[in-house]
Amino acid sequence: MAERKLRILVGKPGLDGHDRGAKVVARAFRDAGLEVIYTGLHQPPEQIVSAAIQEDVDCIGLSILSGAHNTLLPRVCQLLKDKQAEDISVFCGGVIPEDDIPGLKAAGLKEVFTPGTSTEDIVAWVKANIAC
């Protein structure tokens, strides 16, 4: 029987300027055998969600540093719900204060990785928690 290949979208919402972290994570996923749709910088939530649907990804990994996480990330989750696509899981990594994490999870984020999490840990989490 044919086997599913995990597909993941990696992108970076928000206005701040570099995507080194997102690229490192994208490469780690590729090296773990995933197909990574890399959409780059400055992605508004609408574009992220449309891309995720067109690409039929199993999950979305967002890198965020800009401090706008409390608006951008719940917005991605809400748009997925609006499009009946909440089966696509969302996780994020970035500079996110501990206090904000419960709120983000309540808004639909499946996991939040704070600085210092290794890419190995992130890949392991995806493999353990995302089914395709």
Partner 1 sequence: MGLAERILAGDLRAAARLMRDVDDGFASALEELKVLYPHTGRAYIIGITGPPGAGKSTLTDQITAAFRLQGKRVGIVAIDPTSPFTGGAILGDRIRMNRHADDPGVFIRSLATRGALGGISRSTGEVVNIMDAMGMDVVIIETVGVGQDEIDIVRMAHTTAVVMVPGLGDDIQAIKAGILEIADVFVVNKADRDGADRTARDLAVMLEMGKRQEGDWLPKVLKTEASRNKGIDELVAEFENHRQHLFSSGRIDHFLREKCAVVFSEMLKDRLFSAVLDRITADGRFNSTVESICQRDHNPYSAVETMLAEFLNRPATSL
- Minimum CB separation of residue 44 from partner 1 in Å reads 8
Site pattern 76..115 for partner 1 (x: CB under 8 A):
-------xxx------------------------------
User: Quick one: residue 51, left, alpha or beta (phi over 0 = left, psi -120 to 50 = alpha)?
Assistant: alpha
With binding defined as CB under 8 A, does residue 20 bind partner 1? no
Options 22, 36, 64, 109; binder of partner 1; rule CB under 8 A = 36
Q: Are strands 89-94 and 35-40 parallel, antiparallel or unpaired?
A: unpaired
Measured in degrees and rounded to the nearest 5, phi and psi for residue 116 equal 105, -20
Of 36-44, 64-72, 90-98, 108-116, the segment contacting partner 1 by CB under 8 A is: 36-44
Beta strands in the chain (DSSP E): 7-11, 35-40, 59-64, 89-94, 111-113
- The first and second tokens of residue 62, run together, are 């967002």
Residues at the site binding partner 1, with contacts judged by CB under 8 A? 2-5, 7, 26-27, 29-40, 43, 46-51, 53-56, 83-85
